Amino acid sequence: MEQDFHFFKTKMPASRKAEYYLGCLEGAVFIDFNQAREGLISMCRITFDGYGCYEIPTQAGYLNAEMSKTFIEEFTNEPD
């Protein structure tokens, strides 16, 4: 069985600092991302509705340069 997550761009309050915010599963999950000086993207936080907010340590890693570029392009792409 394949799950369709229906990712969407969203915003968060100023107290929840990150550079990119995505939601999915009808707002039950929110994922925050940051961009390093080198342009690499890392997930910094994920929230599960009813189960809490989890900070992701920076040592967890970054997307590689190609994947980071694709992430930024997809995130900044405006739908037709």
Question: Hunting for tokens 């600092």 — which residue is that?
Answer: 17
Under 8 Å between Cβ of 33 and 61:
no
Residue 3 lies in a domain: no
Please give the Cα distance from 42 to 27 (Å, whole number).
21
- pLDDT tens, per residue, the chain with 80 residues: 677 889 999 999 999 999 999 999 999 999 999 999 899 999 999 999 989 999 998 778 999 999 999 999 999 987 65
Answer yes or no: is 1 within a domain. Answer: no
* Prediction pTM value: 0.87
Instruction: Work out the number of other CB atoms within 10 angstroms of the CB of residue 37.
Output: 5
In a domain, 27, yes or no: yes
* Number of domains the chain is built from: 1
Spatial CA neighbour of 65 closest among 37, 46, 25? 37
